Structure 1
Amino acid sequence: MMFLGPGGVNRIRQRLQHDEWASQAADHLLAEANQMLDLLPVHHTLDERKVLLDVARQLAKRVQTLGVAWFVTGDARYRTRLADELVAAAMFPDWNRTHFIDTAEIMAAVGMGRDWIVSFLGTDQRSAIDAALMEFGLVPARESFLLPSAWVRTADNWTIVCSAGSIIAALALRRSQPVLSQQVIDMAVATLSRGLDTYSPDGGYNEGPTYWTYATDYAALAVAALEEAKTLGFHSPDPFASTWRFGKAMTAPSGMFFDYGDNVANPDRCHALGWLANRVRDPEAAAWQQEAPGPPRPFDLVWRADPPAKPTTRRQSAESFIEAGVTVIRSGDLYVALKGGANNINHAHLDLGSFILEVDGRRFVSDLGRDDYTLPGYFSPNARFGYFRTTTAAHNTLVFEDNNQAVAAHAIFLGSCSGIEDFSAAYRIEDPDAPCHFVRAVAVLPGRGVAIADRILPRGDTPVAADWRINTLAQVELNGPSATLTLGNKSVVLRVTGLKGADLAAARVATQPREGDNDAFTRVLCRFRVGGEPAQLNALFAAKPSDENEVAHVGRRLQEWLALLNP
């Protein structure tokens, strides 16, 4: 059976006898499967965006959960219920080919479920399922590859998911429709390969962690299915196997993601973690399958990694993902993540230089998150950056003359090291439309906190209005150039230095009509002017108040380091 290999069902059952984590995961999945037995099968319902994604994802969850419940127990009720879901999807009037990612997800779910229970399907059931896979799936897929559709020409989550769904459906019908299936497989493999190149050079993913989970789930399914069909001779690139590090790095101690761009803070669990861990044979990857937040998913049992005898833990680490444009630094109870990259990436906001900060699992500096995808023109280049949450002003970065960063702006990663105040990393933000460039460096200071240093480089002599700003869910108490941020029983003191009269102010983040509710957030900002000579603003987040000399010392150390990196 697809994804299980020889003896896969027995392997799952045997593991449950001695693997406590897997046994608990199975209990959770069986409880979900039992609830599904009492539900009506999925039905065709377009949402207000005229897409079928919610239905497709409900179908995928049911197929995987019911299928794995059958593997674990041998109870025919789950297999019969799975067949009902497949037939219901086959009876849809269409699989919404105009929004082909809907089609691809349904293709993957139906192709997978068919492969798992094909020998138990009645003749009429199998005929209906196969006809739908061909008419609603493979034929439109072939047309999309031949046109080609936009997702065939690009390299983003659509490229991976649409290719993966096409591959799984084609492999499921490879015997009954050999010519059409092989045509689709050949074209899908070429497109998938370009999508997998986005994980180069270091396993990062430039659309961010939410879309990393989505793309990686489907990429693993496609690669696993292709490699099982050994005659295809497909090999995935090495950086893809190491991409679990990106998912782990983007997961803060709170269990929330670094939710820049259109990503969300509360993560879906990546079901490919075990597959990736088995591929790289890294004890830390195997441990991460158990430690990653979120309830277990069916493929946690299908692709269970052998847990390490002693899970590796690192109290301090710094990781930068160059093409993805993010750096994460952990040290003790501190977690800080800094956004570089480019503004013209799919799902990006105009947020170069933005960062988040957690202390003891509490997020003291937050991203506002994405807005509602149903907002008119949210994905249109002409309207998207008119919505507040996508603008530069909504993020934890510098804003010049109250303007947005350019879509063409990008951040150059200057480097990271462990020799300047423990861990440091820096980006140079280049904006063709801005009156200033700036270099932002972040450093973790053992026992003292986190420093953010901004070296501002004006392009001319005319004074420029600038804002340094952060968004926080904390209560804020101001004291000149300092602010105390309090969440529950934990406080962090922010102190800024470097510019005369640079006191801090605070105000509620505004909520725009019909847009996302920002009322829970407070903006802390420092407003100043800069022009002619370079200027540097230093900010230190610490557990206790820092005097000006201490912050200035940290700023000088970082300035010396930046001079070496960016003369």
Structure 2
Amino acid sequence: MNLKLLAYPFFLLGMMLVFSPTWAQEVPVEVPVKSHPRILLLEGEEVEINQLIENDQRWNRLHQAIIQESDQIIGEDLLERKQIGRRLLSVSREALRRIFHLSYAYRLTGASRFAQRAEQEMVNISGFSDWNPSHFLDVAEMTMALAIGYDWLFDTLAQDSKTKIKEAIVNMGLEPSFNEEYNWFLDATHNWNQVCNAGMIYGALAVYEDYPDLAHRTLQRAVDTIAKAMDDYQPDGAYPEGYGYWGYGTTFNVLFLDVLEKVYGTDFGLTNTPGFLETAGFYEHMTGVTGYAYNWGDAGGGKGNLTPAMFWFARKNEQASLLWVERDYLDQSDLSGLNRNRVLPAALIWGKNIPLENIPVPDEKVWVGQGANPVALMRTSWTDPNAIYLGFKAGSPSVNHGHMDVGSFIMEAEGVRWAMDFGSQNYESLESKGIQLFGRTQDAERWTVFRLNNYVHNTLTIDAALQRVDGYAKIDQHGRSDDFPFAVSDVTSVYKNQLEQFRRGVAIVDQSYVVVRDEIRNNNSRSHIRWNMLTPAEVTLDGDKAQLTQAGKKLHLMIQGLEGVQWKTYSTDPGTDYDAPNPGTVMVGFEYHAQPGEELEFQVLLVPEHSLDKVREKRKNLAEWK
């Protein structure tokens, strides 16, 4: 059966049937680590971190940044229960950041001021009316925050404070998670499952001795259900929700696994889920040469940031090169910005046995993963700041947090991102204006949001129609050679009833320029085809050529294989009162009117100025790409 023509849900079902392991292990009724602390950093492990920061300047600077931030937190007002729209999440996340930082600062320095401030914050939060269980991520992060503080500061907390915090974890955290009105996350296959289950087991382990039955039920349920989300890493580690949600869902998944290992000496086989350990390669390759991530789907458009989970993966895989990008973040002159990461201290916990002096260059310059949202990521170098980076996405718009971006690409060269993706828009800015943002059907209001549909992505639009949400495309073939790394996808099913066939291939030619090749067979009607590329550059048009200028660099766009078409520019002004403005960007592309049954083979070259003399005139069809 040809999987590339199957709709995504059926593809995923097949993958699960083939790869899903059987979780037969039971969580012991007795918790083996009886005393506190038992979450993440056991008693005495501070010694290893102190040795690390004494001997490694990078780790020392990070440690000092956390201590300095903890002193800043002491001067902040206590948190208030301020809900924004349907979310309390910003408060929960700040609670986790504050309490994790303060608790770490106390564990590593013994300074009572940090423990006292954390205690005040936890008692204050315990007095909230609730933690907003209707949006259970809010509860999960708040529960984790109090669990870490309660566990790590157990011997310093006043008895009255212990009682209040413990009861809050149970009454506003664990017990609501057994309410069917709130616990739909148990059946989710995305980040909600990972985050909520992680928050709940932290709460359970924190209060285990006082609520053993509730805690054990919570732990057993979590081990049984988190596998549903972990299945989405199969078969290669490509995370369906993209870069931003990898940082969220996978980080909490690692927090989940690590705490089980610390307490029980096992993660009950969960790490062996096919694709899970491999997903670190996906994440590393998703960062471009410029430091900006390939931000398809609901991801932000900024540069990446230190991700503590990568240190866990580097240790688990015994692969220090996975920290090639992470080390760059630690080499910044000012590390204070890293403190916005609410689980930042985990980097020292998971990296405490990893010296950072001699991180090797990653061996592979091409990474390809299949699964729910297949992606191909390639570059000409890890060390050259002017290297070419090319990202290419297949998949389906129906994936959680997905966009209509199947067949889209991004491209960097000369230290500049030329072909870009907007990523997401702030959810509340849309929901506050009545937009139903999270529907996935073909007629969902989600697709009226400018940044989310195919009109603004670097792919084709046919007769101004939307891509099909029930379509699915995989990476059909790819190559890894230095002179011609490439990927090809048949994206026909995403253009059902619009085109008879559509295959797209992208490649880096001779480490010099990029080619985007489209091979199309039109259906039985006349079709208007628009080729599109979003860019932050200034665009100068010249018939079948266009010149992009940015940061003193130039990129040339050339059309091969189509006669009579000319480049055009299109505005990125959405023209609505709910879409975000997009200053400093423009879309460049061209249009072609295809006749009924017409077969087209054409390609666009993206050529840096210095590579103009290296352009090949010969054009190979996709079947010949080897």
TM-score by length of 1: 0.94
Deviation, 1:341, is 1.1
Pairing of 1:161-560 with structure 2 (within 5 A): 161-230=195-264, 234-238=268-272, 239-266=275-302, 267-292=304-329, 295=338, 297-304=344-351, 305-307=353-355, 310-314=358-362, 317-323=365-371, 324-332=373-381, 333-374=387-428, 375=430, 376-381=435-440, 382-419=444-481, 421-429=483-491, 430-431=493-494, 432-460=496-524, 462-514=525-577, 515-531=579-595, 532-544=597-609, 550=615, 552-553=617-618, 555-556=619-620, 558-560=621-623
Displacement of 1:510: 2.4
Matched letter for residue 58 of structure 1 = E
**Unaligned 5+ runs, structure 1:** none
- Measured after TM superposition, the shift of residue 152 of structure 1 is 1.6
Cα distance in 2 for residues equivalent to 1:544 and 1:232: 55
State the alpha-carbon separation in 2 of the partners of residues 233 and 486 from structure 1.
Answer: 52
Distance 2:91 2:528 in 1: 49
The amino acid that maps onto 2:216 is: Q
Q: How does 1:152-163 map to 2 (within 5 A)?
A: 152-163=186-197
- Tell me which protein shows more strand as a share of its residues: 1
Q: How many residues align?
A: 557
Residues 1:56 and 2:92 are matched in the alignment: yes
Q: CA deviation at 1:427?
A: 0.9
Aligned mates of 1:178, 1:231 — CA distance in 2:
19
2:48 and 2:482 map into 1 onto residues whose CA distance is 50
Tell me the CA shift for residue 193 of structure 1. 1.8
Q: Deviations over 1:235-280 (max 9, x none)?
A: 2233322322111111112211111111112235322121121111
The equivalent of 1:21 in structure 2 is 58
For the 8 Å contact 2:292–2:301, the answer to whether it is kept is yes
What CA RMSD, in Å, does the superposition of the two structures yield over aligned residues?
2.1
What amino acid sits opposite 1:467 in the alignment? R
User: What SS does the corresponding residue of 1:510 show, helix, strand or coil?
Assistant: coil
Deviations 1:202-260 (A, max 9, x none): 22210001000001111111111111221776222333223221111111122111111
Percent identity over the alignment?
26
- 2:455 counterpart letter in structure 1: A
1:534 to partner: Cα distance:
2.1
1:3–1:302 Cα contact (<8 Å) kept: yes
User: Which of residues 137, 143, 150 is equivalent to 2:184?
Assistant: 150
Counterparts in 2 of 1:360 and 1:65: CA distance versus 1, 3 Å: farther
| 1:502 and 1:526 in contact (8 A); partners too | yes
TM-score by length of 2: 0.85
The structural deviation recorded for 1:43 is 1.5
Shift, 1:533, TM fit: 3.3
Assess, with a 3 A threshold, how the Cα gap between structure 1 residues 503 and 314 changes in structure 2: closer, same or farther. Answer: farther
* Structure 2 counterpart of 1:35, one-letter code: Q
Instruction: Give how far 1:8 is off.
Output: 1.1
Superposition deviation, residue 419 in structure 1: 4.9
Distance verdict in 2 for CA 1:559–1:334, change over 3 Å: same
Paired letter, 2:542:
N
- SS for the counterpart of 1:411 is coil
Q: What is the rounded CA distance, in whole Å, between the counterparts of 1:311 and 1:232 in structure 2? A: 28
- In the TM superposition, what is the alpha-carbon distance from 1:421 to its structure 2 partner? 4.6
Q: Out of 110, 115, 118, which is 2:151 matched to?
A: 115
| Structure 1 residues 436 and 504: CA distance shift in structure 2, 3 A | farther
Tell me if structure 2 keeps the 8 A contact 1:220–1:272. yes
Between 406-415 and 121-130, report the one with greater CA deviation: 406-415
How far does the alpha carbon of each residue in 1:509-538 deviate from its partner, in whole angstroms, 9 at most, with x for none?
222222111232111111002241321121
Contact 2:388 2:511 survives alignment (8 Å): no
Q: Secondary structure at the match of 2:469?
A: coil
Moved more, 308-317 or 532-541: 308-317
C-alpha separation in 2, matches of 1:549 and 1:75: 63
Give, in angstroms, the shift of residue 457 of structure 1. 2.3
More displaced 10-residue stretch of structure 1: 155-164 or 379-388: 379-388
> What is the identity, as a one-letter code, of the residue corresponding to 1:37?
I
CA distance in 2, matches of 1:290, 1:81: 31
SS in 2 for 1:342: coil
Which deviates more from structure 2 when the two are superposed, residues 467-476 or residues 221-230? 221-230
Structure 2 distance, partners of 1:541, 1:233, is 47
Match of 2:32 in 1: none
Q: Pick one of 67, 70, 75 that aligns with 1:38.
A: 75
* Structure 1 residues 250 and 280, CA gap change in structure 2 (3 angstroms): same
User: What is the CA–CA distance in structure 2 between the aligned matches of 1:33 and 1:438, rounded to whole Å?
Assistant: 55
Local SS of the residue matching 2:427: coil
Are residues 311 and 548 of structure 1, via their aligned partners in 2, closer, same or farther at CA, if it must alter by over 3 Å?
closer
Contact 1:474 1:522 (8 Å CA) reproduced: yes
Call closer, same or farther: CA 1:351–1:459 in 2, change over 3 Å.
Answer: same
For the 8 Å contact 1:336–1:357, the answer to whether it is kept is yes
- In 1, are the aligned partners of 2:380 and 2:388 still within 8 Å (CA)? yes
- Return the letter of the residue paired with 2:53: L
> Shift of residue 104 of structure 1?
0.7
Q: Does 1:93 align with 2:166?
A: no
Residue deviations 1:381-425, cap 9 Å, x none? 421111121111010001101111011121121111135952111
Q: Specify every segment of 5 or more residues in structure 2 that has no aligned partner in the other structure, as ranges.
A: 1-36, 331-336, 382-386
Counterpart for residue 24 of structure 2: none
Moved more, 504-513 or 386-395: 504-513
> What's the CA shift for 1:173?
1.1
Contact 1:261 1:347 in 2 (8 A): yes
Between the aligned partners of 2:482 and 2:262, the Cα distance in structure 1 is 48
Deviation at 1:307, TM superposition (A): 2.6
Q: SS where residue 15 of structure 1 aligns?
A: helix
Equivalent AA in structure 2 for residue 536 of structure 1? E
Does structure 2 conserve the Cα–Cα contact (< 8 Å) formed by 1:327 and 1:338?
yes
